[in-house]
A and B are shown apart, each in its own frame.
Chain A
Protein backbone atom coordinates (compact mmCIF):
# COMPACT_ATOMS: atom_id res chain seq x y z
CA UNK A 1 0.00 0.00 0.00
CA UNK A 2 1.17 3.52 -0.75
CA UNK A 3 2.08 5.60 2.26
CA UNK A 4 1.45 9.29 2.76
CA UNK A 5 2.64 11.14 -0.30
CA UNK A 6 3.92 14.69 -0.10
CA UNK A 7 5.05 17.05 -2.81
CA UNK A 8 7.32 18.70 -3.55
CA UNK A 9 10.20 17.04 -1.67
CA UNK A 10 12.22 20.24 -1.79
CA UNK A 11 11.24 23.85 -2.42
CA UNK A 12 13.52 26.85 -2.62
CA UNK A 13 11.92 30.20 -3.29
CA UNK A 14 12.33 33.87 -2.59
CA UNK A 15 10.57 35.63 0.22
CA UNK A 16 7.23 37.08 -0.71
CA UNK A 17 6.38 34.21 -3.04
CA UNK A 18 3.42 31.91 -2.52
CA UNK A 19 4.27 28.36 -1.49
CA UNK A 20 1.87 25.43 -1.78
CA UNK A 21 2.61 22.08 -0.18
CA UNK A 22 0.55 19.03 -1.07
CA UNK A 23 -0.37 15.84 0.72
CA UNK A 24 -2.17 12.65 -0.20
CA UNK A 25 -3.07 10.67 2.92
CA UNK A 26 -3.30 6.90 3.18
CA UNK A 27 -6.58 5.69 1.73
CA UNK A 28 -9.16 5.07 4.45
CA UNK A 29 -7.51 7.28 7.05
CA UNK A 30 -9.88 9.91 8.40
CA UNK A 31 -7.39 12.10 10.28
CA UNK A 32 -4.79 14.32 8.65
CA UNK A 33 -2.12 16.41 10.32
CA UNK A 34 0.29 19.08 9.11
CA UNK A 35 3.47 19.57 11.13
CA UNK A 36 6.46 21.88 10.93
CA UNK A 37 9.86 20.83 12.27
CA UNK A 38 12.84 23.03 13.05
CA UNK A 39 15.89 22.53 15.23
CA UNK A 40 14.77 25.29 17.56
CA UNK A 41 11.12 24.31 18.06
CA UNK A 42 11.00 20.61 17.29
CA UNK A 43 7.90 19.08 15.73
CA UNK A 44 4.95 21.49 15.91
CA UNK A 45 1.37 20.60 15.01
CA UNK A 46 -0.01 23.23 12.64
CA UNK A 47 -3.48 21.90 11.88
CA UNK A 48 -5.53 18.74 12.31
CA UNK A 49 -8.38 17.61 10.04
CA UNK A 50 -10.90 14.92 10.85
CA UNK A 51 -13.16 13.72 8.03
CA UNK A 52 -11.92 16.65 5.93
CA UNK A 53 -13.01 19.22 8.54
CA UNK A 54 -10.40 21.36 10.35
CA UNK A 55 -10.69 20.50 14.03
CA UNK A 56 -7.74 22.34 15.53
CA UNK A 57 -5.80 25.06 13.75
CA UNK A 58 -4.40 26.70 16.86
CA UNK A 59 -0.90 25.86 15.73
CA UNK A 60 -1.12 27.81 12.50
CA UNK A 61 1.40 30.61 13.03
CA UNK A 62 -0.49 33.49 11.46
CA UNK A 63 -2.79 34.54 8.66
CA UNK A 64 -0.10 33.91 6.09
CA UNK A 65 -0.70 30.19 6.59
CA UNK A 66 -3.81 28.42 5.34
CA UNK A 67 -4.74 24.77 4.89
CA UNK A 68 -7.50 23.04 3.02
CA UNK A 69 -8.77 19.52 2.62
CA UNK A 70 -11.27 19.53 -0.24
CA UNK A 71 -11.69 15.75 -0.15
CA UNK A 72 -10.51 12.68 1.71
CA UNK A 73 -7.52 12.12 -0.56
CA UNK A 74 -5.93 15.53 -0.79
CA UNK A 75 -4.81 18.43 1.38
CA UNK A 76 -2.78 21.58 0.82
CA UNK A 77 -0.83 23.90 3.07
CA UNK A 78 -0.28 27.35 1.64
CA UNK A 79 2.02 30.14 2.77
CA UNK A 80 1.45 33.56 1.28
CA UNK A 81 3.56 35.64 1.41
CA UNK A 82 6.46 33.45 2.49
CA UNK A 83 9.21 34.70 4.82
CA UNK A 84 12.71 33.34 5.61
CA UNK A 85 11.54 32.27 9.10
CA UNK A 86 9.13 29.84 7.42
CA UNK A 87 12.09 27.73 6.36
CA UNK A 88 11.61 24.29 7.88
CA UNK A 89 10.65 20.72 7.09
CA UNK A 90 6.88 20.35 6.73
CA UNK A 91 5.39 16.93 7.36
CA UNK A 92 1.96 15.60 6.59
CA UNK A 93 0.68 12.59 8.54
CA UNK A 94 -2.52 10.57 8.46
CA UNK A 95 -4.18 8.04 10.71
CA UNK A 96 -7.41 6.59 11.95
CA UNK A 97 -8.64 8.40 15.07
CA UNK A 98 -6.62 7.44 18.14
CA UNK A 99 -4.29 5.24 16.10
CA UNK A 100 -0.61 5.84 15.29
CA UNK A 101 0.16 8.39 12.61
CA UNK A 102 1.95 7.60 9.39
CA UNK A 103 4.18 10.37 8.07
CA UNK A 104 5.08 11.42 4.57
CA UNK A 105 8.69 12.05 3.58
CA UNK A 106 8.30 15.76 4.24
CA UNK A 107 8.88 18.90 2.22
CA UNK A 108 12.14 20.74 2.88
CA UNK A 109 11.30 24.40 2.41
CA UNK A 110 13.89 27.14 2.12
CA UNK A 111 12.82 30.76 1.80
CA UNK A 112 15.63 33.03 0.67
Chain B
Protein backbone atom coordinates (compact mmCIF):
# COMPACT_ATOMS: atom_id res chain seq x y z
CA UNK B 1 0.00 0.00 0.00
CA UNK B 2 1.33 3.45 -0.91
CA UNK B 3 2.05 5.85 1.93
CA UNK B 4 -0.40 8.49 0.72
CA UNK B 5 -3.03 7.83 -1.95
CA UNK B 6 -5.37 10.12 -3.80
CA UNK B 7 -7.78 9.61 -6.68
CA UNK B 8 -6.14 11.57 -9.52
CA UNK B 9 -9.51 12.46 -11.08
CA UNK B 10 -10.21 14.68 -12.86
CA UNK B 11 -13.37 15.60 -11.04
CA UNK B 12 -15.43 17.57 -13.51
CA UNK B 13 -18.23 19.50 -11.79
CA UNK B 14 -20.52 22.43 -12.64
CA UNK B 15 -20.37 25.73 -10.81
CA UNK B 16 -22.25 25.61 -7.55
CA UNK B 17 -21.74 21.90 -7.02
CA UNK B 18 -20.41 20.30 -3.87
CA UNK B 19 -17.40 18.05 -4.34
CA UNK B 20 -15.35 15.95 -1.93
CA UNK B 21 -11.93 14.37 -2.15
CA UNK B 22 -10.39 11.75 0.08
CA UNK B 23 -6.78 10.96 0.86
CA UNK B 24 -5.81 7.67 2.50
CA UNK B 25 -2.60 7.21 4.45
CA UNK B 26 -0.72 4.31 5.97
CA UNK B 27 1.04 5.94 8.93
CA UNK B 28 -1.32 5.40 11.84
CA UNK B 29 0.84 7.60 14.09
CA UNK B 30 0.54 10.68 11.87
CA UNK B 31 -0.32 13.87 13.71
CA UNK B 32 -0.02 16.59 11.09
CA UNK B 33 -2.19 16.71 8.00
CA UNK B 34 -2.54 19.41 5.40
CA UNK B 35 -4.30 20.17 2.14
CA UNK B 36 -2.47 22.14 -0.53
CA UNK B 37 -3.72 23.63 -3.76
CA UNK B 38 -1.59 23.76 -6.90
CA UNK B 39 -2.51 25.73 -9.98
CA UNK B 40 -1.06 24.82 -13.36
CA UNK B 41 2.64 25.76 -13.60
CA UNK B 42 2.61 27.24 -10.10
CA UNK B 43 3.93 26.17 -6.73
CA UNK B 44 1.78 24.29 -4.18
CA UNK B 45 0.15 26.61 -1.66
CA UNK B 46 -1.27 25.71 1.72
CA UNK B 47 -5.06 25.56 1.62
CA UNK B 48 -5.74 24.42 5.16
CA UNK B 49 -4.49 22.30 8.01
CA UNK B 50 -6.57 19.33 9.12
CA UNK B 51 -7.39 19.11 12.82
CA UNK B 52 -8.68 16.10 14.71
CA UNK B 53 -12.00 17.79 15.33
CA UNK B 54 -12.37 18.87 11.72
CA UNK B 55 -12.19 22.45 10.56
CA UNK B 56 -13.97 24.78 8.21
CA UNK B 57 -12.80 27.80 6.27
CA UNK B 58 -15.57 29.40 4.28
CA UNK B 59 -16.67 26.97 1.58
CA UNK B 60 -13.95 24.48 2.50
CA UNK B 61 -14.21 21.77 5.17
CA UNK B 62 -11.43 19.38 6.13
CA UNK B 63 -12.01 16.27 8.20
CA UNK B 64 -9.88 13.51 9.66
CA UNK B 65 -10.99 9.90 10.10
CA UNK B 66 -8.32 8.17 12.17
CA UNK B 67 -10.09 4.83 12.36
CA UNK B 68 -10.16 4.47 8.59
CA UNK B 69 -6.97 6.49 8.08
CA UNK B 70 -8.12 9.10 5.64
CA UNK B 71 -8.58 12.82 5.44
CA UNK B 72 -11.17 14.54 3.33
CA UNK B 73 -11.71 17.93 1.72
CA UNK B 74 -15.20 19.18 0.95
CA UNK B 75 -15.78 22.16 -1.31
CA UNK B 76 -19.24 23.68 -1.33
CA UNK B 77 -20.67 26.04 -3.96
CA UNK B 78 -17.77 25.40 -6.35
CA UNK B 79 -16.38 28.37 -8.26
CA UNK B 80 -14.55 28.39 -11.58
CA UNK B 81 -11.52 29.60 -9.66
CA UNK B 82 -11.49 26.41 -7.59
CA UNK B 83 -10.17 24.54 -10.64
CA UNK B 84 -6.77 23.24 -9.57
CA UNK B 85 -4.99 20.17 -8.25
CA UNK B 86 -5.49 19.43 -4.56
CA UNK B 87 -2.66 17.69 -2.74
CA UNK B 88 -2.81 16.07 0.66
CA UNK B 89 0.23 15.93 2.93
CA UNK B 90 0.86 13.30 5.59
CA UNK B 91 4.10 12.43 7.42
CA UNK B 92 5.94 9.28 6.38
CA UNK B 93 5.74 6.18 8.55
CA UNK B 94 8.24 6.49 11.38
CA UNK B 95 9.15 10.09 10.69
CA UNK B 96 7.80 13.60 10.65
CA UNK B 97 8.88 14.17 7.05
CA UNK B 98 5.78 15.27 5.13
CA UNK B 99 4.78 13.21 2.10
CA UNK B 100 2.65 14.62 -0.66
CA UNK B 101 -0.03 12.64 -2.43
CA UNK B 102 -0.11 12.73 -6.24
CA UNK B 103 -3.01 15.13 -6.13
CA UNK B 104 -6.63 15.22 -7.29
CA UNK B 105 -7.49 17.36 -10.28
CA UNK B 106 -10.67 19.45 -10.07
CA UNK B 107 -12.26 21.14 -13.06
CA UNK B 108 -15.21 23.43 -12.39
CA UNK B 109 -17.12 24.36 -15.55
CA UNK B 110 -19.81 26.98 -16.19
Contacts and interface: CB of A to CB of B under 8 A. Distances in A.
Partners in one complex: yes
B96 A98 contact: yes
A56 interface: yes
A43 interface: yes
A34 interface: no
Interface in A88-112: 91, 97-106
Interface residues of B, number: 19
Contact of B43 (A91, A97, A100): A91
Interface string A40-53: 00110100100000
A104 B43 contact: yes
Give 7 closest A-B pairs by Cβ, nearest first.
Answer: A103-B43, A42-B102, A100-B46, A43-B100, A100-B34, A98-B32, A103-B44
Interface string B26-43: 000001101000000011
Interface of A: 35, 42-43, 45, 48, 55-56, 91, 97-106
Given A98-B32, A100-B89, A103-B44, 11 more contacts: A43-B44, A43-B100, A43-B102, A43-B103, A45-B99, A55-B97, A56-B97, A91-B43, A98-B31, A100-B46, A104-B43
Contact of B45 (A42, A45, A48, A103): A103
A45 B96 CA distance: 13
Given A98-B32, A98-B96, A105 B103 contact: no
Interface of B: 31-32, 34, 42-46, 49, 87, 89, 95-100, 102-103
Chain A residues touching B, majority SS: strand
